[in-house]
Amino acid sequence: MRSYMKKPVGMLKFKKAADVGLTYALLILVGIIFVFPCLWLVLASFSKTGSLYSFDGFFPPDYSLDSFKTLFTDTAMYNYPQWFLNTLLVASMSCIIGTLLVILTAYTISRFEFKARKPLMKITLVLGMFPSFMGMTAVYILMTQFNMINNHWGLILIYSAGAPMGYLVQKGFFDTIPNSIYEAARIDGATNARVFCKITLPLSKPIIVYTALTSFAWPWSDFILPKLLLKERDMYTTAVGLMSLPETEFARFAAGAIFIAVPIVVLYFCLIKYMINGMTAGAVKQ
Amino acid sequence: MENKAVDTGSAGKSPAVFFGKVRDKLRAKIRGAAESVRTFFRTANSNTFASMCFMGAGQLMYKQWAKGLIYLGIEVLFIVLMALWGGEAIYGFFTLGLVRGDPWTGVEGDNSVVMLLMGILAWFVLIAFVCTYFANIKDCYRTQQDVAAGKCPAKFLDEAKGLLDKKFYKTVLFLPVVGVLVFNVLPIVFMIFVAFTDYGGETVPPELVSWVGLDNFEKLVALADIADSFFKILGWNILWAVLSTFINYFLGLGLALLLNKKCVKGKAFWRAFPVLAYAVPGFITLLGFKFMLSYGGPINQLIIEHGGEAIGFLGRDAKWMARFIGIAVNAWMSVPTTMLLATGILSNMNTDLYEAAKIDGAGAWKQFTRITLPFVVFSTTPVLISQFISNFNNFGIFYFLRGGLTLDGYFEASDTDLLINWLYNLSIDNNYYSIGAAISLVIFVITSVISLAVYVRSSAYKREDMFR
Amino acid sequence: MANAELKNVCKIYEGGVKAVNDFNLAIDDKEFVVFVGPSGCGKSTTLRMIAGLEEITSGTLYIDGVLMNDVEPKDRDISMVFQNYALYPHMSVYENMAFSLRIKKLPKDEIDRRVKEAAEILGITEYLDRKPKALSGGQRQRVALGRAIVREPKLFLLDEPLSNLDAKLRVQMRSEIIKLHQRLQTTFVYVTHDQTEAMTMGTRIVVMKDGYIMQVDTPSNLYDHPANDFVATFLGSPQMNLFDAVIERAGEGLVVRLAEFDDDGNEIPSEKNITLKVPPLKAGQLVDESYIGKKVTFGIRPEDIKESEEGVDGAIGVTAEIVEKLGNETLVYTHITGRKDYAIASYAARTPVLIDGVSYMRFDMDRMHLFDAKSGESLLRIPEVNLLDVDVKCEEDAVVLSEGRFHSEELKNRLVMSAGEDAKIGLRSEGIGFEERENALAVPVTVDEVIDYGAYKAVYSHTAAGQRVVVKADAEALVPAEGEATVYAPVEAIDIFAADGSRLTARREFAHPVHEDAAVVRSGRVYRINAVVEGVKRSLACRVTALDVFGEKTLMTVRANKSGEVYSFAAQTDTAYYEGMAIYITPPRQK
């Protein structure tokens, strides 16, 4: 403490200013690092020429909307509009069904005490430790048996059925609703079904939004499963479709990528509050 | 009463003590179970015994018509199912097909793989039936106790209503559990079994597949090519997982702290940049980076312009460079997540601690290591574990960055491939299913042992509740 | 408008933790019963069992004579107010209060009427449209009360409703709740850990500790006549002073000598002896003469210590160390000269006190307390049983008392073990009285003293042979004043005791012969007795009809469901047993 007082006031001010300056410099650097690749892709999508090699370093020589045009019009080989619609279908249906299942599961495990509860939680934890890839072959064979190959509903089925496995975050949220509210409702005479609909759901808006968003975004950008199950070009989702583009069509790839990235990015930004809420609900112990 | 010399909080949790406790608990449980069984057999009455012979008989004797008929129906259904399909399926499970199909002679052979799958499904049905059988006995026994205590046997309508109310959880969990069983458990069980067959390579239907016991695992460790690759890839995988998890975690934490500083105005604005990176779908950014770093890509173009030679960032010889790039790109993609997580946690922190520390004379670094770090790590240990696991199994990063590159000295893999990439190469591209399955099992054992070990020691588990 | 009765209620959690043990209480209509005790004593658990939120492990709960063990909370016609209000955050105040009524499908105008009326009573009418987060703590608590009122229940249950409020608000809400009770004229059951709340609000208080009931009585009886040292120190602030002491005889009466003991219980001789005279009334109340000469605990409340001077009879020299002037009283923390003991005294407000010098104080011995040094039980309590040395003879089919003056077959039937030559009889203080009745043992006595406890009276008398008889009578019962009288003891109130004080008769009828040392085995919810019983080959389903606790052993009488045969067993006492429980008789395996 004494040594501090010995330093002249000007020195303290300088230290503080340097600190602030350094902070902002770092922030700007971080910002650039994170934005640059995205920016590059955006610029690339506006490139006139299709190929990567004709670029002047990072920047395309000429700009035009051609790539976007060809993306939607040249559907002979790469039927982008169809892919987009496919992805929309799969993502929205998985979102609806998956959210419903996950919310119900998480609520039930959070609220009710029953004999199978602990074992169920432990088994789910252990199951989650298996590499996701492991079951792919089996899923493929299973789907062949059910005739669900090359069928979007096969994808939707798998995404939805697997959704309840990730119930921990939602459960963390439901754990924060005090038990006494449920007890008061019980004394008031509400059945469990009514309690869920009239009391839990209205209070769970943040976590429902988070769940819907994450279960929508996942199929949107997943490629392993669609690659495995979809065989026809026209049935592809955008993820698989874009991956099938060769390097010569880089601009088209960039355009397609940007086009599907934009909705997700916009959604994330609008709902950023819910995202943080959801992440910390599962991870932070109250 | 011994005095343990080293007495930190975790001394009592040494492995010997821990397993000793587990063993004692197990013994007590077994004793309790034996006692219950003994009591059951001494006190069960004729109705309950009837239920043991014919499902539902006891319930019918207690005049619970609907319930009794349902249980009886299930038993009949099961017998029919087993006779028509199940018995054969389980037999097929053990033999994995006896007749090899031959397109030339028109003989339709057995498809071993499908038989395995169906066999497993049949086992599931069998297990489900056994559970229902025991549920039937328990139910009859409980009714017996109720009658002994003077109550009437429960009516069916009341029990049905109970499903919507007291037993709500049963109704709700039924569908998710079935879904998970069929689409998650079944595939995993299937693959575990495949690891003990010779399915793969040339032995695919219509060839007959057979059981080979631990052959695949032996191959993994003993057969020159495969074993060699296995250990190399395993080593790199562990190194990768540890490095990337810690780097992501601390970079994210650092970023969160940076953004949290009092002097930063417009926090939401600065936060938007990482969130942008996080929001763009993974494969897009990965492919983008791949193109960026390719031979004809922009970075190399700039280097050539300035008179240098093109660098093969992700080329065949770029072992450590490629690995480093992998870690960097992974950080780029994952740090926003940990940053957001840390931000949320930091907002829950007790700022009084910092003021007390300042008065005590602690500088910024000390405050970080003694106050911030313990709190954040303590709060997020479970998340750390799941991040470790997902990094360990991060398929996409090297799949996209280096494609299906294979190098000499590796059996169908490259020097940056993780176990899971190797798995993919073997299974999908080359049909070595059984070895792939064996590798999957190894991955599972490693990840589960590590995470269980850390998890059990973490305070979240010690309080015997997860995340609460 | 209801009464409730809890009989032998126990709550045992998985893993064997006994939260509530053998809780017996009868709550009358319109009473305001308070459960009070330190944290973890089981008061909230008991309340929740009454509400139906916790399952009753064993024992029975009756509300208005109807068995309620398995009835859902919503069907018990009760209301509950929670400590943290438990208001539905997303609903308005009106909706919060109307929620239960809507479920019951009451007509809209009825709901409206009730809600508005309750809001009127509680003064929250202007907040009906607000959401809970826009209200202060006190307002939220009122809404919680309102939610409970609109249901118009038989029983109001309140679980520490004022604990989350600040001190001033707490005092205000306390009187509001009392007014509410008077207005609604309904039975209230209230849980708190604050003894001030308990003392000011309850008509009857149940003091609990570690799952057991310590005492049930009116506030004033609990304060003036605590049944044990826990209740004595729990109620009253600052708490009662307790000293180690020995009771000794001094001439005709008794004295209490404050003494010091070492860890083994041996007295450390001291030069400075402080001997206090015991008033004759208190001496007469000493429950058992065997305490004379033994170590006991002597208690005196701070407000019963008065200032004194040197030389006054009973004055004790002390040094005052800390003085707290509280405005309405002055607390003095003193150190008794020459001893290790400390005493806290409460003097009137502006008493001058000398610090660090020698001053004197004396105890008001009319308000002294004595407790057993080990168990903490009060030694001045009304004894449960009066042991009398009366001639007891067991003949073939009857017991003859007092040289033929009293025959009883019933008593013989209740005799479990044979009575020796020097057997005594015990008369239960609650069962005997002064009204003449048939078939009762008449004991001529001389009445010494009548103490009025408000809800009941205690009559101290002695027989011609000098044996003491205490009668506990209802408040309205006619009791004679001092002088000659006769105590009538009906057979139900008579028990036979051995010379060493152990009971020989059962309180209820039982079956001969008694199967000794039966082992009761429990697994899950099923109980079975491992005993050899004639005619029982495999297992016999029975129900427990009577339980009679003899200390460590319990006499269990069971009745077979099918045949109606009655059997009796002597088994280890366990509070988990209750009347009416199902049990099987299983013979042990033949070896």
* Residue ranges of domains in chain B: 44-213, 219-462
Could you tell me if C427 and C459 lie in one domain? Answer: yes
Q: What is the mean pLDDT of residues C263-274?
A: 76
The number of distinct structural domains making up chain A is 2
> Pick the residue with more confidence: C553 or C140?
C140
Neighbours of chain B (3+ CB pairs under 8 A): A, C
Taking the Cβ of residue A164 and every Cβ of chain B, the question of whether any pair is shorter than 8 Å is answered with yes
- pLDDT at position B161, please? 74
Q: What is the mean pLDDT of residues A208-226?
A: 86
3-state SS record for C369-419: EEEECCCCEECCCCCCEEEECCCEEECCCCEEECCCCEEEHHHHHHECCCC
Which of C355, C356, C363, C350 is closest to C307 using CA atoms?
Answer: C363
Range of the domain at A87: 75-283
Strand ranges across the sheet with C305-308:
C305-308, C358-363, C316-325, C329-336, C342-348
Task: Judge whether C415 lies within some domain.
Answer: yes
ipTM: 0.78
pLDDT tens profile B398-435: 888 877 677 776 777 777 888 888 887 777 767 777 77
What's the Cα-to-Cα distance from B193 to each of A138, B120, B128, B218, B426, rounded to whole Å? Answer: 11, 9, 20, 16, 17
Beta bridge mates, C544 = C558
The number of distinct structural domains making up chain C is 4
Residues 6+ apart with CB under 8 A from C425: C387, C388, C390, C392, C401, C494, C495, C496, C497
Rounded to whole angstroms, the Cα distance separating C178 from C191 reads 14
Could you tell me if A54 and A86 lie in one domain? Answer: no
Among C86, C90, C100, whose Cβ lies nearest the Cβ of A178? C86
Cβ contact C521–B36 (<8 Å): no
Could you tell me if A153 and A205 lie in one domain? Answer: yes
Best of A115, A176, A188, A201 to substitute, by most chain C Cβ atoms within 10 angstroms, is: A188
Could you tell me if A90 and A61 lie in one domain? Answer: no
Amino acid identity, position A52: L
pLDDT tens profile B342-358: 887 777 777 788 888 88
Nearest residue of chain A to residue B114 (CA atoms): A141
The CATH number of whichever domain residue C423 belongs to comes to: 2.40.50.140
Taking the Cβ of residue A201 and every Cβ of chain C, the question of whether any pair is shorter than 8 Å is answered with no
Q: Which of B49-58, C99-108, C343-352, C483-492 has the lowest mean pLDDT?
A: B49-58
Could you tell me if C344 and C324 lie in one domain? Answer: yes
Cβ contact A183–C84 (<8 Å): no
Best of B120, B194, B276 to substitute, by most chain A Cβ atoms within 10 angstroms, is: B276
Range of the domain at C315: 241-372
Q: Is the pLDDT of residue C313 over 60?
A: yes
Nearest residue of chain C to residue A180 (CA atoms): C86
Residues of chain A found within 8 Å of residue B184, distances taken between Cβ atoms: 127, 135, 161-162, 165
Could you tell me if A44 and A110 lie in one domain? Answer: no
Q: Which of A17-31, B350-364, C184-198, C360-374 has the lowest mean pLDDT?
A: B350-364
The percent of residues in chain B predicted with pLDDT above 90, rounded, is 2
Six-digit token string for B468: 């609460």
The domain boundary residue, chosen from A23, A48, A68 = A68
Could you tell me if C98 and C224 lie in one domain? Answer: yes
Could you tell me if C89 and C162 lie in one domain? Answer: yes
Is residue B144 within 8 Å of B137, Cβ to Cβ?
Answer: no
Number of CB atoms found within 10 A of residue C363's CB: 24
Q: What is the DSSP letter of C279?
A: P
pLDDT bucket at B5, cuts 50 / 70 / 90: very low
The domain boundary residue, chosen from A68, A91, A115 = A68
Task: Judge whether C380 lies within some domain.
Answer: no
Cis before B153? omega within 30: no
Rounded to whole angstroms, the Cα distance separating B319 from B338 reads 28
SS3 of residue B303 by DSSP:
helix
Six-digit token string for B5: 């010399």
Amino acid identity, position B34: A
Which residues of C touch chain A, with CB atoms under 8 Å apart?
51-53, 72-74, 78-80, 82-84, 86-90, 99-100, 103-104, 147, 151
Query: C402 φ, ψ to 5°?
Result: 55, 45
Nearest Cα of chain C lies from the Cα of B147 at a distance, in angstroms, of 9
Could you tell me if C261 and C331 lie in one domain? Answer: yes
Nearest Cα of chain A lies from the Cα of B121 at a distance, in angstroms, of 11
pLDDT bucket at C158, cuts 50 / 70 / 90: very high
Residues of chain B found within 8 Å of residue A228, distances taken between Cβ atoms: 428
Task: Judge whether C447 lies within some domain.
Answer: yes
pLDDT bucket at B77, cuts 50 / 70 / 90: confident
Could you tell me if A40 and A9 lie in one domain? Answer: yes
Rounded to whole angstroms, the Cα distance separating C415 from C495 reads 9
CA dihedral A153, A155, A157, A161 (to 10 degrees): -170
Is residue C63 within 8 Å of C154, Cβ to Cβ?
Answer: yes
Top mean pLDDT of A20-34, A127-141, A264-278, C86-100 is at C86-100
- What angle is formed at CA C522 by the lines to CA C518 and CA C525, rounded to 5 degrees? 140
Chain Cα centroid distance, residue C587:
40
Beta bridge mates, C156 = C79, C188
Q: Is the pLDDT of residue C10 over 70?
A: yes
- Chain-wide mean pLDDT for chain B? 78
Could you tell me if A114 and A17 lie in one domain? Answer: no
Which of B120, B118, B176 is closest to A145 using CA atoms?
Answer: B118
Nearest residue of chain C to residue A203 (CA atoms): C90
Rounded to whole angstroms, the Cα distance separating C455 from B346 reads 60
The CATH number of whichever domain residue A96 belongs to comes to: 1.10.3720.10
> Pick the residue with more confidence: A275 or B147?
B147
What's the Cα-to-Cα distance from B338 to each of B238, B300, B403, rounded to whole Å? Answer: 20, 32, 27
Could you tell me if A32 and A133 lie in one domain? Answer: no
Could you tell me if A22 and A92 lie in one domain? Answer: no
- pLDDT at position C410, please? 79
Q: Which is it for strands C187-192 and C32-36: parallel, antiparallel or unpaired?
A: parallel
Could you tell me if A267 and A175 lie in one domain? Answer: yes
Task: Judge whether C502 lies within some domain.
Answer: no
Rounded to whole angstroms, the Cα distance separating C213 from C36 reads 10
Which of B296, B339, B329, B335 is closest to B396 using CA atoms?
Answer: B329
Number of CB atoms found within 10 A of residue C66's CB: 11
- pLDDT at position C207, please? 95
Q: What is the mean pLDDT of residues C30-35?
A: 94
DSSP per-residue letters across B84-95:
IIIHHHHHHHHH
Cβ contact C86–A188 (<8 Å): no
Of how many residues is chain B composed? Answer: 468
Nearest Cα of chain A lies from the Cα of C327 at a distance, in angstroms, of 41
pLDDT bucket at B2, cuts 50 / 70 / 90: very low
Beta bridge mates, C131 = none
Is residue C170 within 8 Å of C146, Cβ to Cβ?
Answer: no
The percent of residues in chain A predicted with pLDDT above 70, rounded, is 86
User: Which of B:421-460 have CB within 8 Å of A?
Assistant: 423-424, 427-428, 433, 436-437, 440, 443-444, 447-448, 451, 460
Task: Judge whether C591 lies within some domain.
Answer: no
Amino acid identity, position A265: V
Nearest Cα of chain B lies from the Cα of A86 at a distance, in angstroms, of 17
- pLDDT at position B10, please? 47
Best of A187, A201, A203 to substitute, by most chain C Cβ atoms within 10 angstroms, is: A187
Residue C299 parent element (H or E) = strand C295-300
Could you tell me if A131 and A245 lie in one domain? Answer: yes
pLDDT bucket at C47, cuts 50 / 70 / 90: very high
- pLDDT at position B14, please? 67
- Chain-wide mean pLDDT for chain A? 80
- pLDDT at position B8, please? 44
Which of B216, B237, B119 is closest to B436 using CA atoms?
Answer: B216
Strand ranges across the sheet with C274-277:
C274-277, C253-258, C241-250, C295-300, C369-372
Chain Cα centroid distance, residue A251:
25
The CATH number of whichever domain residue C128 belongs to comes to: 3.40.50.300
The percent of residues in chain C predicted with pLDDT above 70, rounded, is 99
Six-digit token string for A35: 């934005």
- Chain-wide mean pLDDT for chain C? 87
The domain boundary residue, chosen from A44, A68, A92 = A68
Q: Is the pLDDT of residue C48 over 90?
A: yes
Cβ contact A188–C84 (<8 Å): no
Could you tell me if A225 and A258 lie in one domain? Answer: yes
Structure-token match 């994210």, residue found: B252
Could you tell me if A214 and A231 lie in one domain? Answer: yes
The domain boundary residue, chosen from C219, C234, C249 = C234
| Fold of the domain built from segment(s) B219-462 | MetI-like fold (1.10.3720)
3-state SS record for B322-386: HHHHHHHHHHHHHHHHHHHHHHHHHCCCCCHHHHHHHHHCCCHHHHHHHHHHHHHHHHHHHHHHH
Among B176, B186, B379, whose Cβ lies nearest the Cβ of A101? B176
Structure-token match 């497993």, residue found: B120
